[in-house]
């Protein structure tokens, strides 16, 4: 995604104040997946915690400067911010999560709940993969951003799986 399209995710007051600086910091190049996730998480924080990016009316721009510096750091980032240990934790989350979802699917199937079994077995890998990003791509993001991005996507995947079994 382009920085200009991601800018629309931020509240109007934030865009009025930081849009030019944001676009300058990101430049014209395309963003990496990690940079895009960081910017989306920042937009979620700006919407749910607007005081974190608005300076006081007394003329103090300390908070605004820290937001600007933070965005510049995100856009300038060349490497991933997680370690090998974080990657191993993420891999373990995928393996364990997949087995848990498959186990729940097997239990559902043995109790005669075929539709539920198919949903759990079908969601084993995608949901586990998504939740593993808590240790990798979403590392360092706020709890709110993680909840919205990871929780919201998980709910959407489960709803799609549930609706697919009804068709």
Task: Give me the mean pLDDT over the 132-139 stretch.
Answer: 84
Give dist(CA 60, CA 25) in Å, integer.
22
pLDDT band at 106 (very low <50, low <70, confident <90, very high): very high
pLDDT in tens, 27-68: 777 778 778 878 888 888 887 765 544 444 444 444 445 555
Specify whether 96 is located in the same domain as 139: yes
The pTM score is: 0.57
Specify whether 100 is located in the same domain as 144: yes
Give dist(CA 156, CA 164) in Å, integer.
12
Query: How far does CA 108 lie from the centroid of its chain?
Result: 30
Look up tokens 């191993």; give the residue: 88
- Whether 53 and 64 have beta carbons less than 8 Å apart is answered as yes
- The boundaries of the domain holding residue 90 are 84-166
Count up the domains in the chain and report the number. Answer: 2
Q: Of the segments 7-21, 56-70, 74-88, which one has the largest average pLDDT value?
A: 7-21
Specify whether 12 is located in the same domain as 41: yes
Specify whether 95 is located in the same domain as 137: yes
pLDDT band at 80 (very low <50, low <70, confident <90, very high): low
Q: What average pLDDT does the structure give for the chain?
A: 79
Percent helix, strand and coil across the chain, each to the nearest 5: 75, 0, 25
Specify whether 71 is located in the same domain as 88: no
Specify whether 53 is located in the same domain as 120: no
Sign of CA dihedral 51, 71, 145, 82: negative
The pLDDT value recorded for residue 66 is 55
Question: Of 55, 76, 97, which residue constitutes the final position of a domain?
Answer: 76
Question: Of 32, 49, 76, which residue constitutes the final position of a domain?
Answer: 76
Specify whether 98 is located in the same domain as 58: no
């Amino acid at each position: 995604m382009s920085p200009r399209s991601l800018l629309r995710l931020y509240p109007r007051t934030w865009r009025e104040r930081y849009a030019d600086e944001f676009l300058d910091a990101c430049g014209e190049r395309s963003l990496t997946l990690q940079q895009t996730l960081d910017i989306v998480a920042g937009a979620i924080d700006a919407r749910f915690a607007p005081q974190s990016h608005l300076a006081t009316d007394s003329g103090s721009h300390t908070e605004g400067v820290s937001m600007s510096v933070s965005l510049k750091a995100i856009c300038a980032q060349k490497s991933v911010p997680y370690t090998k240990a974080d990657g191993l934790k993420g891999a373990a989350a995928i393996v364990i999560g997949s087995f848990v979802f498959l186990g729940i699917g097997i239990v559902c199937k043995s109790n005669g709940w075929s539709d539920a079994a198919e949903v759990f077995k079908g969601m084993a890998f995608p949901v586990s993969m998504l939740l593993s990003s808590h240790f990798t791509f979403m590392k360092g993001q706020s709890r709110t951003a993680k909840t919205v991005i990871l929780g919201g996507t998980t709910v959407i995947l489960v709803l799609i799986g549930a609706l697919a079994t009804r068709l």
